[in-house]
Amino acid sequence: MPCLEILTSRPRAVRPGAPLAALLVLVLPSCGGDRSAPASGTPAGDTPAEPTANRGDAGAPSALDLAGIAASLSERMALLPGERVLLLGEPGRFDPLANGLRTAVADAGAEYLGAMSVSDRPYAESHRTPFTLALAAADGNDRLDLLRTVDLAIMLPGAAVGQPVYSAVQDVLREGVGRTIHFHWQGAYSMDGLLMDPDAGIDHAYQRSLLETDYDALSGTQSLFEAAARSAEVQVTTPLGTDLRFRIGDRPVTRQDGDASSARVAEARNLIDREIELPAGALRVAPIEESVHGTIAFPPGAWDGRPVRGLVMRFEEGRLVEWTAEEGVDAVRAELAAAGPAGQAFREFALGFNPTLAIPDDRSWIPYYGYGAGVVRLSLGDNTELGGNVGGGYVRWNFFPDATVRVGGETWVEAGSLRVPGS
């Protein structure tokens, strides 16, 4: 099956039966079920409505074990006595989770700073504190000063890049201060490329992942891959003709293994090392730019909001040197021109390792941004948040759920299935 394209252009529905393609920006979208990825040039959080799909399950979201989820998050954040914790989100369905997290913070001997609403609807009185009131009234350096005193911010559904407090939190993280947990409850895609509203099936899958992931095994497998890739060339191939090779050397490798402890974040080398995703699963790295050589063959998809077919790009030393397309040449040319130099650069390799988030056998949907075992992401554009050297702001994600990945001749992924050498 062709790769899933995750783009910075406006999401569009694709024709039934089309090869796998979907649209998203690098920054995660607002997590309300009625919102989707920002259109090109539109700040996240200011998103127009876009088409969504559903799994054919019950229309209303299922009941969740929010107490169990709170306990799982509590274990992952591994609070130390005295640490200061802030929640950021949209009041509503997950309010009982906020209550459970408040209790967990107190039980750990940490300080609960309250819950900050990202909408006009406030959290209950029990979540409003002098800290959240001061934060709501602050801006500029005063807001940053307050956030520098926060050890852990938990981004609940509704929190999104582009919102003032969220953006300020990221500014503080870039200074090397604090950590965040991203609990989005979004990022499910149908195989025909539409962002899916959370429903009973997605709820069940995400809850199962949170509660049943073997985090030690996940971290161990990611560490084995990192060690192998440090000293050998990585090759990615696909049935459509992708054949890309690169090295990572001593570049920062972000292992999204669910460890949100202060000890782990003390080792952070870039922004995303401080942003812990739950559910967990992906390993992400910006390869050494000069080591990236080969081709990426894209499935039919959208560039500059227009259909493109038969697109193949060739890279030398991490830069795009030539490309061809069977259809949509003008659309590709327009998007690359708008992207500037960043659009000519390879950005990132990511690989999913979590078996609880694997694409199901019936190939019906893609869980949580492709964090499932065997899903590959090859991206173009700005990679500074990963510790790379490409700036410019433009980012284009491309998911390949049918890729084969070899490291130094050993096969780690075969046609989208994770196969750990020696296991």
Boundaries of every domain in the chain: 66-182, 215-254+281-418
Task: Judge whether residue 147 has pLDDT over 50.
Answer: yes
Least confident of 46-60, 73-87, 281-295, 298-312: 46-60
Give the number of other CB atoms < 10 A from CB of residue 133.
Answer: 12
pLDDT higher than threshold 70 for residue 34: no
Summarize the confidence of residues 138-145 as an average pLDDT: 97
Would the pLDDT of 250 be above 70? Answer: yes
d(CA 418, CA 420): 6
Burial class of residue 55 in the structure, from the number of CB atoms within 10 Å of its CB (0-12 exposed, 13-18 middle, 19+ buried): middle
Confidence of residue 302 (pLDDT cuts 50, 70, 90): confident
Reported confidence tier of residue 182, pLDDT bands at 50, 70, 90: very high
Q: Which CATH class is domain 66-182?
A: alpha beta
What pLDDT does 192 receive?
56
Could you tell me the pLDDT band of residue 300, with boundaries at 50, 70 and 90?
Answer: confident
> How confident is the prediction for the chain on average, in pLDDT?
86
Please write the tens of the pLDDT for every residue from 122-135: 999 999 999 999 99
**Over residues 80-95, mean pLDDT:** 96
pLDDT of 81 higher than 60: yes
What is the band of 62 on the pLDDT scale with cuts at 50, 70, 90?
low
Q: Which residue has the higher pLDDT, 128 or 28?
A: 128
Q: How many helices (H) and strands (E) does the chain have?
A: 9, 23
Encoded amino acid at 59, one letter: G
Contacts of 33 (CB under 8 A, 6+ apart): 61, 186, 197, 198
Residue 423: the pLDDT is: 78
Q: Which residue has the higher pLDDT, 140 or 10?
A: 140
Rounded Cα distance between 208 and 354, Å, is 12
| Stretch 71-89: mean pLDDT | 97
Of the pLDDT bands very low, low, confident and very high (cuts 50, 70, 90), residue 46 is very low
Percentage with pLDDT > 90 across the chain: 73
CA separation for the pair 218, 216 (Å, rounded): 5
Give CA angle at 358 (356, 364), nearest 5°: 120
For the segment 314-332, the average pLDDT, to the nearest whole number, is: 98
Could you tell me which of 244, 195, 224 has the C-alpha nearest to residue 28? 195
Q: How confident is the model at residue 327 (pLDDT cuts 50, 70, 90)?
A: very high
**pLDDT band, very low/low/confident/very high, at 193 (cuts 50, 70, 90):** low
CA-based nearest residue to 100, from 61, 68, 63, 132: 68
Could you report the per-residue pLDDT of 392-406, keeping only the tens digit for each? 999 998 888 899 999
pLDDT of 134 reads: 98
pLDDT at residue number 191 = 64
Instruction: Give the pLDDT of residue 269.
Output: 95
Is pLDDT of 391 > 90?
yes
Q: Taking residues 343-354, what's their average pLDDT? A: 98
Q: Is the preceding omega at residue 279 within 30 degrees of 0, hence cis?
A: yes
Judged against a pLDDT cut of 90, whether residue 188 lies above it is answered with no
Residue 53 reports pLDDT greater than 80: no
Question: Taking Cα atoms as reference points, which of 288, 296, 290 lies closest to residue 313?
Answer: 296
Residue 43 has pLDDT above 80, yes or no: no
pLDDT the model gives residue 49 = 31
What predicted TM-score, i.e. pTM, was given to this entire model?
A: 0.85
Which distant-in-sequence residues (6+ apart) come within 8 Å of 274 by Cβ? Answer: 173, 178, 179, 180, 265, 268
Going by pLDDT thresholds of 50, 70 and 90, the confidence category of residue 63 is confident
